[in-house]
Amino acid sequence: MFKAFKEEWTRFKDSPPGERFISYNRRVKKASTASRVLRIGVGLLLFAAGVIMLVIPGPGILFMVFGLACFGGESTWVSKLLDKLELKARAGWQWCKRKWRAMPLVGKVTVAVIGVALAAGAAYVMYRVLWS
């Protein structure tokens, strides 16, 4: 089981960006019905957990993306959407890296301090909401 998962992950990772999910979709369409039902169930569970984690502390968006990735194997529409989102996320990440490298040290320290302050503020708000 783990060997098959590792092989599938390697094929997924080696696919070119912008085509990963649609090629994954084409490969898993040939899988057994039990495997497809399990994939849909796991996708629903992960997506629902992500929605819940948007309200409570946790990596909600990450879980929602993983849930959609599970659905991507069953839905061509979701696969195409995830391929487009991957390209946009890669472009956004490259833009952030360029801006970060061009920023002076004072700017980097400022961004880090603001990030820590926002995280502390969010933690405080969640503490007050959940335990008050």
Question: Residues 97-113: pLDDT tens digits?
Answer: 999 999 999 999 999 99
User: In percent, how much of the chain has pLDDT > 70?
Assistant: 98
**Domain limits for position 24:** 2-101
Does residue 1 carry a pLDDT above 70? no
User: In percent, how much of the chain has pLDDT > 90?
Assistant: 25
Does residue 131 carry a pLDDT above 80? no
97 assigned to some structural domain:
yes
In the chain, the number of structural domains is 1
Question: Residues 50-88: pLDDT tens digits?
Answer: 888 888 777 888 888 888 888 777 788 888 888 898 899
DSSP assignment of 31-97 equals S-HHHHHHHHHHHHHHHHHHHHHHHSSS-HHHHHHHHHHHHHTT-HHHHHHHHHHHHHHHHHHHHHH
114 assigned to some structural domain:
no
